[in-house]
């Protein structure tokens, strides 16, 4: 693979990486948001909230991510075309990937958030109650800010794993960075160098992010 071939492939690879980062960002945003709600439901002590949240987490942690992607690939397009297609200019495959990753990762983020909340001493909750704060105010203003600070390294580590898992969108035809490299390599008749090059890019990004997480841990003194 020479510089000319790389220059020709560059636009497609760049667009693939942009797609990968879009899926990653939306999945992290949705996963953490939904995961926080699930964690609060499990810690609420209210059975009607606790039981469904527990079932949700156990279910998605017990099935392969690829299977979840395939489920949503066939389910989301119907919802997309009937509901969102008129308002959101998104590809159905892209939408299905985002929803699948978001709902799958929410189960893992919820456990991280739950552990973070439980690491905060009861004294903090009692002090908030003494000040007349409601449960929602206590969680929003006192507990969650401290919990997220403690669990930040774990959240970042899960985000790295999610970045690596985005390669699974290859199975449903979404052109992410890995698929862009595969298709270009196949067209050029030099598949192996492109696959190895894509692997090197994922390795460098993941390694750099892991080193960054270690620095965050040092700064937070974990």
The model's pLDDT over 149-208, given as tens digits with 9 standing for 90+, comes to 888 888 999 999 999 999 999 888 888 899 988 888 887 777 888 888 889 999 999 999
Quote the pLDDT of residue 150: 84
- Provide the whole-model pTM: 0.85
The CB-based long-range contact list for 94-97 (8 Å cut-off, 24+ gap) reads 94/19, 94/22, 94/23, 94/174, 96/69, 96/72, 96/172, 97/23, 97/69, 97/72, 97/73, 97/169, 97/172, 97/174
- What proportions of the chain, in percent to the nearest 5, are helix, strand and coil? 85, 0, 15
Q: How far apart are CA 212 and CA 222, in angstroms?
A: 14
Is the pLDDT at 15 greater than 70, yes or no? Answer: yes
Torsion angle of alpha carbons 48, 51, 56, 57, nearest 10°? 130
Quote the pLDDT of residue 128: 77
Query: Which is more confidently placed, 57 or 217?
Result: 57
Highest mean pLDDT among 113-117, 125-129, 217-221: 113-117
Is the pLDDT at 92 greater than 80, yes or no? Answer: no
Is the pLDDT at 222 greater than 60, yes or no? Answer: no
Cα atoms in the Cβ-side hemisphere of radius 13 Å centred on 33: 9
Mean pLDDT, rounded, of the chain? 84
Task: Report the CATH number that the domain containing residue 211 is assigned in CATH.
Answer: 1.10.3720.10
Q: C-alpha 159: how far from its chain's center?
A: 6
Tens-digit pLDDT profile for residues 36-57: 999 999 988 889 999 999 999 9
Is the pLDDT at 62 greater than 90, yes or no? Answer: yes
Quote the pLDDT of residue 35: 94
Q: How far apart are CA 28 and CA 173, in angstroms?
A: 21
Return the exposure string of 71-86: e unless at least 16 CB atoms fall within 10 Å of the residue's CB, then b.
ebbeebbeebeeeeee
Residue ranges of alpha helices (H) inside 119-190 are: 122-130, 135-138, 144-165, 177-188
The tokens describing 94, both together, are 């892209």
Count, residues in the chain: 222
Tens-digit pLDDT profile for residues 125-134: 778 778 878 7
Query: What is the number of structural domains in the chain?
Result: 1
- Parent domain of 197: 3-220
C-beta separation of 59 from 67 below 8 A: no
């Amino acid at each position: 693979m020479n510089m000319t071939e790389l220059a020709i492939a560059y636009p497609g690879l760049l667009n693939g990486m942009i797609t990968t980062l879009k899926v990653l960002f939306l999945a992290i945003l949705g996963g953490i948001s939904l995961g926080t709600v699930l964690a609060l439901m499990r810690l609420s002590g209210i059975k009607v909230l606790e039981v469904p949240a527990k079932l949700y987490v156990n279910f998605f942690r017990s099935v392969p991510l690829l299977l979840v992607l395939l489920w949503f690939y066939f389910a989301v397009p119907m919802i997309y075309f009937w509901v969102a297609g008129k308002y959101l200019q998104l590809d159905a495959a892209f939408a299905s990937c985002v929803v699948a990753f978001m709902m799958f990762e929410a189960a893992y983020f919820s456990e991280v958030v739950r552990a973070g909340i439980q690491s905060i001493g009861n004294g903090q909750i009692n002090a908030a109650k003494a000040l007349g704060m409601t449960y929602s105010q206590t969680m929003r203003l006192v507990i969650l800010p401290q919990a997220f600070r403690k669990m930040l390294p774990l959240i970042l580590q899960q985000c790295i794993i999610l970045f690596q898992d985005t390669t699974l969108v290859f199975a449903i035809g979404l052109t992410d960075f890995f698929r862009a490299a595969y298709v270009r390599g196949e067209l050029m008749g030099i598949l192996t160098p492109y696959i190895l090059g894509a692997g090197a890019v994922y390795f460098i990004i993941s390694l750099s992010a892991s080193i960054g997480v270690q620095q965050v841990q040092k700064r937070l003194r974990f």
